[in-house]
Structure 1
Amino acid sequence: MTTTVQITSPAGEKGDSIVLPDAIFDVQANIALMHQVVVAQLAAARQGTHSTKTRGEVSGGGKKPYRQKGTGRARQGSTRSPQFVGGGISHGPVPHKYLQRTPKKMKAAALRGALSDRARGGNIHVLSSLVEGDKPSTKVAISALAHVSTAKNVLVVIAREDVAGWKSLRNAENVHLIASDQLNTYDVLKSDDVVFTEQSLNDFLIFAKAQAAVIETELELAVEEAIAEVLVAEVLEEAIEEAVVEAALEEAIAEDNASAADPTEEESK
């Protein structure tokens, strides 16, 4: 199913239509894959610097608080034990990374699924630009968005060199700005509508095509490396088998020569 979107000007005038590529905007969404990619992205955003001190790291507490016996209270060796206020923490969090490795191919497939879901719902829009000219204007940019979307949360994909657009919407409420080469599954799914500028859509399609070519090249190289490893393993296996056979033949020849050189041994046998 071909998805067609009309290009709207900042003044709200409808212009030419643009056909969204089926390879990106009309694919089957893999919900499990999108979930995995989003979880990995959120995990990567965590700093992982949480930390607590154990009883050995807390300052003080070197002196026994009171004598071992005769007080009627439970014996204690340090006021920095976990049961004391101001003491150490048992089994507390320690700094560690939350990074999850996600292959590029999975990220790209998840993004295609998210964009396809938004396109099928009619939530992909294209503006010719956010403002007319090079002068930033938040009022004009918000008015332009209102012509194509009334959603509460809007993701605006903008070209990096569109300085006027960045300045116009950087403080707008319920609007998330992102560069075309930073578009990701999480931001697409979090937003109700996705609005491209005409330039950012072209940049994104070029970037996606180049990324697909890189992934395909990496896949081909990986396949070639795997084939080369298999061939090397086969050659080594054949060489080992030949070496074993040659060693066995040499051993047999040596035994025959030894038997021929010592006739007494043959007679004793």
Structure 2
Amino acid sequence: MQATLLNQQGEQVGMIELNDYIFGIEPNVSVMHQYVLMQASNARLGTHNTRGRGEVKGSSRKLYRQKGTGRSRQGRVRAPHRMGGGVAHGPHPRSYRVSMPRKMRRLAVRSALSAKYAAQQIHFLDSITFERPRTKDAVALLAALGIAGKTLIVVDSKSEQNQIVQRSANNLPKVKTLLASYLNVRDLLHHDHIVMPQAALGVIEGILGNGAPAPSSEEE
């Protein structure tokens, strides 16, 4: 499978060979859905907490005798149905973390990449090079590629040049920069366009290719 390779000016400079195992499979929607649910669950802090009847302030004395008053029977003031009482069956701190098998995580990311490529929403560049951090340069890059809308720029590493690219795109509300090793389904599906330099493509093929070890960042 071949794809068009562009430069920063949006001009075609050649063709590149893509791995069919990553960009040419039939997307598995159910696995992608499970991956997104996993990411949403793992993003939850689980710090919510309520106080039960044994944790709120108040006397444990019975308010009045059980019979003979003509009123409904009552216990202590800390009962859940009374104002200021404890919360019945309320939430407490817990972990919402879930996991997926490694092969399923890889399949989900490959499915998302294949779906984006089939929709012609991945733009392969030979490189992205800015002299200094400038939002104007990032805007010019997207304009040259004819991109409008939410865009994900994938970089290969935390090199100085990639940090310049990231700082140039930080002020753009619909643009996000992400390391190739942190590529995930939610970011792929959330953005309308993916900008991928050759260096980042090499990292992705090294991670998702046959027999490659899966980094822990796939669980993010």
In which range does the TM-score fall when normalised by the shorter chain? 0.7 to 0.9
Question: Matched residues in 2 for 1:103 and 1:153: separation?
Answer: 30
List alignment gaps of at least 5 residues for structure 2. Answer: 215-220
Moved over 6 A (4+): none
Aligned to 2:169: 169
Cα contact 1:131–1:141 (8 A) shared by 2: no
Q: Please say if 1:8 is aligned against 2:7.
A: yes
Deviation at 1:37, TM superposition (A): 1.6
1:204 is paired with a residue whose SS is helix
Question: Matched residues in 2 for 1:118 and 1:171: separation?
Answer: 25
Q: Please say if 1:52 is aligned against 2:26.
A: no
Aligned to 1:126: 124
Cα contact 2:2–2:15 (8 A) shared by 1: no
Letter of the 1:113 partner, please give it: S
Question: Matched residues in 2 for 1:149 and 1:212: separation?
Answer: 36
Taking a change above 3 Å as real, the CA distance of residues 125 and 104 of structure 1, as seen in their structure-2 partners, is same
Structure with more of its chain in helix, by fraction: 1
Question: Matched residues in 2 for 1:112 and 1:41: separation?
Answer: 16
Cα contact 2:4–2:12 (8 A) shared by 1: no
Instruction: Give the TM-score normalised by the residue count of structure 2.
Output: 0.86
Question: Matched residues in 2 for 1:154 and 1:127: separation?
Answer: 14
CA RMSD of aligned residues (A): 2.1
Q: Identity across aligned pairs (percent)?
A: 37
Deviation at 1:131, TM superposition (A): 4.0
Deviation at 1:182, TM superposition (A): 0.3
> Residues 86-235 of structure 1: matches in 2 within 5 Å?
86-133=84-131, 135-159=132-156, 160-161=158-159, 162-209=162-209, 212-214=211-213
Deviation at 1:70, TM superposition (A): 4.8
Aligned to 1:245: none
Cα contact 1:3–1:22 (8 A) shared by 2: no
1:156 is paired with a residue whose SS is strand
Question: Matched residues in 2 for 1:146 and 1:43: separation?
Answer: 36
1:150-192 residue CA offsets vs partner (Å, 9 max, x unmatched): 3422111113211211111123211122101000112111211
Aligned length: 211
Cα contact 2:53–2:87 (8 A) shared by 1: yes
Q: 96-105 or 198-207, which moves further after superposition? A: 198-207
Letter of the 2:207 partner, please give it: F
List alignment gaps of at least 5 residues for structure 1. Answer: 216-269
Cα contact 1:52–1:89 (8 A) shared by 2: yes
Cα contact 1:130–1:141 (8 A) shared by 2: no
1:16-41 residue CA offsets vs partner (Å, 9 max, x unmatched): 22222211111111111111122112
Question: Matched residues in 1 for 2:61 and 2:171: separation?
Answer: 57
Question: Matched residues in 1 for 2:171 and 2:99: separation?
Answer: 33
2:72 is paired with a residue whose SS is coil
Deviation at 1:107, TM superposition (A): 0.6
Aligned to 1:261: none
Cα contact 2:80–2:88 (8 A) shared by 1: yes
Question: Matched residues in 2 for 1:190 and 1:4: separation?
Answer: 23
- Bigger RCO of structures 1 and 2 (CA < 8 A, at least 6 apart): 2
